[in-house]
Amino acid sequence: MTTPALITLLSRSPVFATVGRDGLGALLEGGSLVRLDAGQHLFRMGDKAAHFFLVQAGSVMLYRPSYGGEQKVFRNMEAGDLLAETAMFVEPCRYPLSARANMPSSVYRLPRAGLLGLCRASPDFSLAMLEGMAVRISQSLNRIDLLTIGNAAQRLVAYLLDLYTQQRSAWLALPASHSVLARQLNITAETFSRQLGAFRRAGFIGGRNPELVLLDIDGLCQAVELPPPGLLFEQAEPMDHLGSSLFDCCNYARQALGK
């Protein structure tokens, strides 16, 4: 394991920013690099959780199998993302989701004991973790509200508007395929594509996959009977909305690779 490089990666995360290099070095003791083939599982829901993970390269899908045999996709984790670190604090410690590589990928496997030890040794780090967990609870409540109150068109528009807030641009880079996003929004892939097509024909959106551009935000909101965003929405911080964090589930700290 290239410890200096890993320490640099972790130090870029807000939650680890309060931890010195010595503390991060102790966190990495006993870690290892795991290489996954496309379709190979990193862990399955219900497995005993003794490690959390940092994606080095590739893409890992977090999902939960449903009773009907389908897969409820929560998020695709990319290079620099941490997986399952908040699950380390649950006893008995088991993974709440399954993780499977979308493509050949490599992840660093880090021991749970090191993370718990760091919390005991650093009150500032413990407070940072608690703050992150509180944010996740708030985002989970927003997600429940979105998925149970809005109809399919409203959920799609709310998601597009939040991407707008997250990315600070009317040009939106969709973070996953239409089928994955549809499952995340609890609508069928056919409904997702049909609704996007209707928005295109109406002149509300444009662009080509995987990018979309919002051409008429007010008209888009009016079409689905949502209030148009105001100045406060434009000035809002991303964490106040849903965005990609809507699907973080057991993930808290997203790295800022290359920034």
pLDDT at position 257 is: 38
Residue 71 has pLDDT above 70, yes or no: yes
Instruction: Give the tens place of pLDDT for each residue, 75-103.
Output: 788 888 888 988 999 889 999 999 999 99
Distance of CA 179 to the CA centre of its chain: 16
pLDDT at position 249 is: 42
Pick 5 or 109 by higher pLDDT. 109
The stretch 22-48 carries a mean pLDDT of: 90
Q: What is the CATH number of domain 140-247?
A: 1.10.10.10
Residue 209 has pLDDT above 70, yes or no: yes
Pick 128 or 149 by higher pLDDT. 128
The stretch 6-13 carries a mean pLDDT of: 78
Domain-by-domain residue ranges, the chain? 3-122, 140-247
Residue 239 has pLDDT above 70, yes or no: no
Residue 38 has pLDDT above 90, yes or no: yes
Nearest to 15 by CA among 117, 99, 133: 133
pTM above 0.85, yes or no: no
Distance of CA 104 to the CA centre of its chain: 20
Q: What is the CATH number of domain 3-122?
A: 2.60.120.10
Residue 108 has pLDDT above 50, yes or no: yes
Confidence of residue 109 (pLDDT cuts 50, 70, 90): very high
pLDDT at position 132 is: 78
